[in-house]
Amino acid sequence: MTDLSTSVLCPALFLSAPSSGEGKTTITAALARYFTTQGKVVRVFKTGPDYLDPQILAQASGQDVEQLDLWMAGDKYCQQKLFEAAQTADLILVEGAMGMFDGDPSSADLAARFNIPIAIVMNVKGMAQTAAALAMGMANYRDDVKVAGLIANNCGTERHAELIRDALPKNLPLLATLARDPEVALPERHLGLVQADEVRDELEQRFTLGAQWIKGPLAEPNAIIDLPEAVEFFSAEIAPVAPLLVGKRIAIAKDAAFSFIYDANLRLLQEMGAELVFFSPLFDQQLPEADALWLPGGYPELHAKALSENKAIKEQIKRFHQLGKPILAECGGFLYCLEDLTDLGDQVYPMSAVIAGHGAMRGKRGCQGMQTAMLPEGAVQAHAHHRSRSHATPEPIAYGKRQRHPAPGEAIYREQGLTASYLHLFFASNPEAIAAIFSGQYESKTD
């Protein structure tokens, strides 16, 4: 008999694909909404460093969405988060990243580690039996990966679905189809999907249509419309984090310009005892009383004019820095700390000038990938994802360490209390280092 204190059973499905752009988020959101309308509690996880997809999936499911990544978060962290979700959920959905076997570790590695069956999401536009051949190849590529079946996205007609269904072996069923419908596909922009808060009503319409297609006329009877098989999830028995930030009040920029914030990062700060308060560099005229400041990533380039015109908050942030108080600035937050920012229309706008240097957007050129922030306080797992550049900046104190390439990664700057970089940090990978940054117990550039 299963000991529910250390393990729990919960239906689970991992959504993966041959490549990016196949419609994983659209399908995952449609499934989440379909099962929530059936009265089920659906917990969704997103593989890898992603801020935008989780916002959308959270709206579709009505539940917080966590990141799962064996490299970024670690094995035990992922194990514990799945275990905790399984205790209250009727269904766990995990959306993969990139292609099924891309990356190290890959989506397939994560699914295999926790024995979660995979549904292959494939854009079948322009092919029929070939979709079955590709799905069979993916299903049989590794012995440790269990594939539940195929979900055909952009499937045109019942005849199209029939051709794919008949070409699949019995042990690899066509689980569901999603028709060619631009009203269902999710809206995008230059760094990926749009932020959920910007198009909330539009997303609701797309979720509703997606859920209807899941159980629509092309759906395979008794397949995806039923809960998948239960998976046993085990506790990792992780010790609580130390209360390293008790008595610290951290002000966090959060609005349309600064929204790239992992819920896991917020939760960790609170678990370490910090009080969190949010403010908007776009609209607020007064910086909250705080011991430390966090300027996360986002889309400052889309709001550069408004950010530039809010001189009151810029001056207060600059004064905060001059007092030597701790500031963490990540990617978009780093751009905001520079002297000015050139947007996608080549317009130059003054920023807060906390640190010397200039930022400029680069269209489709940029940098992305997993890196370790080699901070004096310790290594913190992170990632880069930007289409801008900076120049005339100070001498870095360190560089990110790329996951698979020997070249130096993103520069890391530190002046007085400011720690700034293009890197987005995953706090749980080194809570002690994060606590040191926000408490001011770090090594400055001149130490």
Buried b / exposed e across 71-108, counting CB within 10 Å, b at 16+? bbbbeebbbbbbbbbbeebbbbbbbbbbbbbbbebbbb
- Of the candidates 186, 6, 173, the one whose C-alpha atom is nearest the C-alpha of residue 80 is 6
Tokens of 151: 């979900």
Model pLDDT, residue 222: 42
d(C-alpha 245, C-alpha 103), whole Å = 35
- Of the candidates 45, 52, 100, 93, the one whose C-alpha atom is nearest the C-alpha of residue 72 is 45
Tokens of 394: 């100070």
432: enclosing H helix or E strand? helix 431-439
Model pLDDT, residue 125: 93
Strand partners, 381: 372
Model pLDDT, residue 265: 97
DSSP of 58-79: HHHHTS--EEE-TTTT-HHHHH
- Of the candidates 211, 243, 218, 199, the one whose C-alpha atom is nearest the C-alpha of residue 36 is 211
Tokens of 228: 């998948």
pTM of the model: 0.90
Tokens of 329: 């600035």
DSSP of 287-301: PPP-SEEEE-EE-GG
Cβ-based neighbour number of residue 326 at 10 Å: 24
Say if strands 66-68 and 388-391 run parallel, antiparallel, or are unpaired.
unpaired
Put residue 378 in one of left, alpha, beta given phi > 0 → left and psi -120 to 50 → alpha: left
Model pLDDT, residue 239: 87
d(C-alpha 145, C-alpha 140), whole Å = 8
d(C-alpha 318, C-alpha 352), whole Å = 7
d(C-alpha 161, C-alpha 150), whole Å = 11
Q: pLDDT tens digits for the chain (447 residues)?
A: 344 469 999 999 999 999 999 999 989 998 999 999 999 999 999 998 888 889 899 999 999 999 999 999 999 999 999 999 999 999 999 999 999 999 999 999 999 999 999 999 999 999 999 999 999 999 999 999 999 999 999 887 889 999 999 999 999 999 888 876 555 555 554 444 455 455 667 788 888 887 777 765 555 554 566 788 999 999 998 889 999 999 999 999 999 999 999 999 999 999 999 999 999 999 999 999 999 999 999 999 999 999 999 999 999 999 999 999 999 999 999 999 999 999 989 999 999 999 999 999 986 656 778 999 999 999 999 999 888 999 999 999 999 999 888 899 999 999 999 999 999 999 999 999 999 999 988 665 444
- Of the candidates 333, 381, 389, 382, the one whose C-alpha atom is nearest the C-alpha of residue 361 is 389
Contacts of 180 (CB under 8 A, 6+ apart): 125, 154, 155, 156
d(C-alpha 218, C-alpha 184), whole Å = 15
Domains identified in the chain and CATH numbers:
8-234 (3.40.50.300), 249-439 (3.40.50.880)
Residues 10, 78, 155, 331: which is the catalytic one?
Answer: 331
Model pLDDT, residue 163: 95
Tokens of 288: 């909250």
Which is it for the CA torsion 36, 17, 160, 12, positive or negative? Answer: negative
367 catalytic per annotation: no
d(C-alpha 447, C-alpha 432), whole Å = 19
Buried b / exposed e across 221-240, counting CB within 10 Å, b at 16+? eebbbeebeebebebbeeee
